[in-house]
Amino acid sequence: MSNAPAIEVVGLSKRFGDVVALDGVNLAVEPGTVYGLLGPNGAGKTTTVRVLTTIIRPDTGRARVLGLDVVDQAQQVRASIGLAGQYAAVDEQLTGRENLELVGQLTHQPRAQVRLRAVELLERFGLTDAADRPLKTFSGGMRRRLDLAASLVHRPPVLFLDEPTTGLDPKSRNDLWDLIRELVNEGTTLLLTTQYLEEADVLADRIAVIDRGMVIADGTAAELKAQMGATVLEVSFADAAAAHGAVATVGAVSPGAEVEGTTVRAPVVDGARTAMEVLRALDAAGLEVAGLTIREPSLDDVFLQLTGRRAEETTNGEAAPDLAPAGGPR
């Protein structure tokens, strides 16, 4: 029984009118682990979370949380999950404390416990001083922290975070990452969606890459990176013709080199050494280099590797279901 996944998704599909939001998603999340759902806008991340949190029903397929069916046993699922996300689902007019106590009451916790829990969470999330101010006076980072706190009031064993740091400044993002890590250390099972490979890398034990409503790759961060090289080498040239002239030379040193515009890009394992070799080869061939970058792969690189196209392309016309903050088409 302890081997049963905390979250299990089989063949999940959902359409909104003509738009296919989910097209047979399969997932399994082990208890006490962090699962990262990585993909661009409109890939189906939010729709997956909305099905798993019982907000919408899937058209076909099955999803279980802690062994409970999200459609047939929705009410029991709701008692065991927390949801926080990019839309900061909190009441702007209410204070931080009032927001938390409201969620406490609506999750049917005993009154006295609700009050204590609110105090405890405000303290833990560094919001004690702002506790009795309406949320409309909060900064973006404070609002996200309160949103996360609100999802924890009833101590749910399974937590869903939908793009928890989208739109936050780096400092707030790091603060939130620390808080999320703490939660995970306490044994919470977490499903996290993100557009940032870095975020999935930092927080998640396993990552699924989702595109056009389907999981197109899944594994540990290390496995995904190994599949595409640990780093990306980019050599830029004065013009596209020069780049085309150099791609063979770069490719001889570092297989998989491709031209994009004035840049030759190659996934590499040992960034610094390969860069040296590439530069020597280019110099020997008498080719002039305008710039050179070695960087961590981004979601874009993962996408390019997995699908042969850039991540942004998928947003065309498919963004609507994921972007709608509430209710979808009503």
Q: Are 309 and 303 in contact (CB under 8 A)?
A: yes
Which of 13, 109, 193, 249: binder of other proteins (CB under 8 A)?
Answer: 109
User: Distance from CA of residue 45 to its chain's centroid?
Assistant: 8
Q: Tokens for 66, please give them.
A: 């802690």
Where b means 16+ CB within 10 Å and e means fewer, 56-93 reads: bebeebebbbbebebeebeebbbebbbbbbbebbbeee
Give the nearer residue to other proteins in terms of CB position, either 143 or 206: 143
- Per DSSP, helices labelled H in 1-131 are 45-52, 74-80, 96-106, 111-124
Draw the binding track, 27-66, toward other proteins (x: CB under 8 A; -: no contact): ----x------------------x--xxxxx--------x
Q: Which helix (H) or strand (E) holds 162?
A: strand 158-162
Size of the site for other proteins (CB under 8 A): 49
The residue from 10, 11, 24, 76 that contacts other proteins (CB under 8 A) is 76
Choice from 93, 113, 139, 220 touching other proteins (CB under 8 A): 93
Select from 104-112, 197-205, 268-276, 283-291 the region that touches other proteins (CB under 8 A): 104-112
To other proteins, the closest distance from the beta carbon of 91 in angstroms equals 6
Among 10, 28, 89, 279, binds other proteins (CB under 8 A): 89
Q: For residue 62, what are the contacts with CB-CB under 8 A and spacing of at least 6?
A: 9, 10, 11, 12, 69
* Minimum gap (Å) between residue 253 Cβ and other proteins: 50
Residues 6-25 that bind other proteins (CB under 8 A): 6
Site for other proteins in 115-144 (CB under 8 A): 134
Is 102 a residue that touches other proteins (CB under 8 A)? Answer: yes
- Whose tokens are 């299990």? That residue is 8
The C-alpha atoms of residue 221 and residue 36 are separated, in whole angstroms, by 9
Interface with other proteins, residue 219, by CB under 8 A: no
Near other proteins by CB under 8 A: residue from 20, 25, 29, 81 = 81
Residue 90 or 179 with smaller CB distance to other proteins: 90
Q: Using CB under 8 A, pick the residue from 60, 105, 113, 139 that binds other proteins.
A: 105
Cβ nearer to other proteins, comparing 53 with 305: 53
Regarding 154 and contact with other proteins (CB under 8 A), the answer is yes
Alpha-carbon gap, residue 254 to 225, rounded angstroms? 16
Are 161 and 184 in contact by the 8 Å Cβ rule? The answer is no
108 binds other proteins (CB under 8 A): yes
Q: Compute φ and ψ for 91, nearest 5 degrees.
A: -95, 115
Taking only Cα atoms into account, the Rg of the chain, rounded to an integer number of angstroms, comes to: 23
DSSP helix/strand/coil, 159 = strand
- Tell me phi and psi for residue 107, to 5 degrees: -95, 10
Query: Where does this chain bind other proteins (CB under 8 A)?
Result: 1-2, 4, 6, 31, 50, 53-57, 66-68, 75-76, 78-81, 83, 85, 87-94, 98, 102-103, 105-109, 134, 150-151, 154-155, 157, 325-328, 330
